[in-house]
Every structure is written in structure tokens, then in C-alpha cells.
């Protein structure tokens, strides 16, 4: 936990856009809602019950579980490679620097253990990750969406693949678009606002460390300056707690509402009080700026839950293994 608190909180704001890219088999062939209706009819109920118990003890686990699903899908696709432990051949994804702050693995293990008692060898860890992300959002006030299931688990997890696949937090809007385009995202996709919303929606819960925003506060252009896009009053508030070169404390991504899945985040972004550089970048593009403005007019967000759910469904189809591909792990941290 100490290590987790000292490293950068990886930003979710970019990740859902990848759901509409050409990364591997994004169409999710083989997935469907109700996949376990006959083979394990209580699977989703068991998952929800276990996740509710965990979040009731620590509400911050909701953001952690949502983030786990994002990080899994972004590297190799949604096939639970992020859950695997390292082997003698080398480090796994969870050992990469950008993933050191991931947590919630024990919750996924608890869900897997509970489901295995009811339906051994049936439900994949990849599907459990997708269900956990949905349940985490629902349990923090977000809307419910149907999760397509039928994923199989991958057998490979390599820490060396992290840096090449996870986008960086200091990207401006041009760099973000270039990154998305390199993954197969089309100009049409970039202009569809509900994908943009879903990226923002990931920041409605969760936090980022002082280390994450230190450059923005104290050395934005390499001249000991503060990002001019950041509200001066907000910057002063942050500097009182986040000192030059500091690692801690941790700040809410959605100030005052970081444990509730709502649309308050948009108001902060519109007021130049978004915590991250990539938050501010969304005001530099006409399409994303217009969407932020529209959502910020309503506390609940005009279409927040619907759009976020649609984008989560799309992200859950990235690079899936189905049919006879991969395996159904007995334990999520180990291949069979």
C-alpha cells in the first residue's frame, strides 16, 4: 500500500476512447449478455454481493476496480492479463511502474473464490473484471448497464508492454488524438461526444497523487512556472498541501464528489479546476469543450449514465478471447 500511494495515479480519462479503436478484435464477437444464465445463473448476483461488501468497508475501492478493468483492456485486451503474477520468465503487467498503484486484486480474488464454489471452472476472471467495474459504478450512484460476458482469460502478462500501451498524463489534445489514431481511432469516432464523456466519467471517482500534479504546479514549461490553464485560486490551494518535489498527499479527481459517480467533474473542468493536464486539454478542442459545457449545466449530467454505459460496453470488447481461445483460470493470479 505504501508503494501504491507513492506512485502516479494513472489517468483513466484517455482509456475508454480505445474502445472504438481497431485494437485487436474490438467487435467482441462471441460476447453476449446472459452468457452464464444456464451455466452459472447466480454469477452476477454473487459478484455484486461480494463487491458491495468490499466497497461498504472502503468506498475508494470502487475507483480501484474501475481502473483495474481499464488497465486490463488497454494492454492485450480484456483478458485479465493485468491480474497475473510474475513468473520466472519476467515481470507481469502489475509489476510495471505505471501499474504499481493498481489495487483491488484481493476483491477480484474474493469474487472468483465465491463464484468457484457455486460454479467451478465456468466464469472467467476477465468477465469478473468487467462485472466489477459495472458494479463499482452502480454502487457509487451511477447507472446500471448490462455487461456482455463470455470472455476467456489470457496466459501472457509482460511488464515490458506497459509503457508502449498506456498513454501518459501530460498529453495535450493533439498528442491524445495522435495516440488514439495510432490505435485505430477514426476522426468520426473522435467527434462522437459520448466517447469523450466516458473518458471524463472515469474521473468522477478516484484520486491522483501530489507527484502526479507537481510539474503542473511548479515547472510546467521548465521555467519554474504554473500551468496557466489552472485556476490561480485552485493552484494556490493545491500548493499549500503539495510541495515542490512532493509525492503525497493524494487529491480527489472530482473535488468534493470523488466517491460518487456523478457529473460534477464537468463543472470543475469548465471552471479550469480539473486536477490533471489531460483534464485541461479537453477544453482545447471544440467537440470536447462543447460536451463539457453541456454536461456541466446539470448536476446529474444530461446523458452521463447512458453514455458512460455505452462506452464501457464498447471498451469491454477490446481484444477479447472467446470460444476455445485462452482458458478459464482457476485462480486469477495464475495460469492453469
Active site residues: 71
Alpha helices per DSSP H over 32-172: 43-57, 61-74, 105-118, 125-139, 162-165
81 cis-preceded (ω within 30 degrees of 0): no
Binding site annotation covers 96?
no
Residue 150: left if φ>0, alpha if ψ -120 to 50, beta else—which one?
left
- Cβ distance 165 to 75 under 8 Å? yes
Q: Return all residues near 92 (Cβ < 8 A) that are at least 6 apart.
A: 81, 84, 85, 86, 157, 158, 159
Q: Give, for 180, the enclosing helix (H) or strand (E).
A: helix 173-182
Q: Answer positive or negative: Cα dihedral of 34, 37, 38, 42.
A: positive
Binding site annotation covers 167?
yes
Beta-bridged to residue 14, according to DSSP, are none
Binding site annotation covers 262?
yes
Q: Give the max Cα distance, the chain.
A: 62
d(CA 131, CA 47): 7
Q: Which of 210, 224, 225, 219 is CA-nearest to residue 276?
A: 210
Binding site annotation covers 77?
yes
Binding site annotation covers 110?
no
From the annotation, which residues make up the binding site for heme b?
203
Residue positions forming the annotated binding site for Ca(2+): 72, 75, 77, 81, 93, 204, 254, 262
Residues belonging to the binding site are 72, 75, 77, 81, 93, 167, 203-204, 254, 262
Amino acid at each position: 500500500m505504501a508503494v501504491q500511494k507513492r506512485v502516479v495515479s494513472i489517468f483513466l480519462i484517455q482509456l475508454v476512447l480505445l474502445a472504438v479503436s481497431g485494437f485487436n478484435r474490438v467487435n467482441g464477437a462471441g460476447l453476449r449478455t446472459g452468457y452464464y444464465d444456464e451455466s452459472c445463473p447466480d454469477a452476477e448476483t454473487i459478484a455484486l454481493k461480494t463487491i458491495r461488501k468490499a466497497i461498504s468497508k472502503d468506498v475508494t475501492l470502487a475507483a480501484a476496480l474501475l481502473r483495474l478493468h481499464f488497465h486490463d483492456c488497454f494492454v492485450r485486451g480484456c483478458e485479465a492479463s493485468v491480474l497475473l503474477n510474475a513468473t520466472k520468465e519476467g515481470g507481469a503487467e502489475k509489476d510495471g511502474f505505471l501499474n504499481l498503484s493498481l489495487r483491488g486484486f484481493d476483491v477480484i480474488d474474493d469474487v472468483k473464490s465465491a463464484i468457484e464454489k457455486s460454479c467451478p471452472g465456468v466464469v472467467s476472471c476477465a468477465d469478473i473484471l468487467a462485472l466489477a467495474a459495472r458494479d463499482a459504478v452502480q454502487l457509487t450512484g451511477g447507472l446500471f448497464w448490462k455487461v456482455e460476458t463470455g470472455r476467456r482469460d489470457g496466459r501472457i502478462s509482460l511488464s515490458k508492454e506497459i509503457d508502449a500501451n498506456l498513454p501518459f498524463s501530460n498529453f495535450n489534445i493533439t498528442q491524445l488524438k495522435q495516440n488514439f489514431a495510432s490505435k485505430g481511432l477514426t476522426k468520426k469516432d473522435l467527434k462522437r461526444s459520448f466517447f469523450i464523456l466516458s473518458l471524463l466519467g472515469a474521473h468522477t471517482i478516484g484520486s491522483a497523487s501530489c507527484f502526479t500534479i507537481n510539474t503542473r504546479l511548479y515547472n510546467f514549461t521548465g521555467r519554474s512556472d504554473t500551468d496557466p490553464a489552472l485556476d490561480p485560486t485552485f493552484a494556490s490551494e493545491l500548493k499549500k498541501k503539495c510541495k515542490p518535489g512532493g509525492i503525497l498527499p493524494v487529491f480527489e479527481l472530482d473535488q468534493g464528489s470523488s466517491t460518487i459517480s456523478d457529473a460534477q467533474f464537468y463543472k470543475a473542468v469548465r471552471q479550469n479546476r480539473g486536477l490533471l493536464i489531460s483534464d485541461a486539454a479537453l477544453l482545447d478542442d471544440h467537440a470536447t469543450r462543447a460536451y463539457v459545457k453541456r454536461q456541466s449545466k446539470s448536476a446529474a449530467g444530461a446523458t452521463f449514465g447512458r453514455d458512460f454505459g455505452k462506452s464501457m460496453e464498447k471498451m469491454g470488447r477490446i481484444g477479447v478471447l472467446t470460444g476455445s481461445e485462452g482458458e478459464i483460470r482457476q485462480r486469477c493470479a495464475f495460469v492453469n
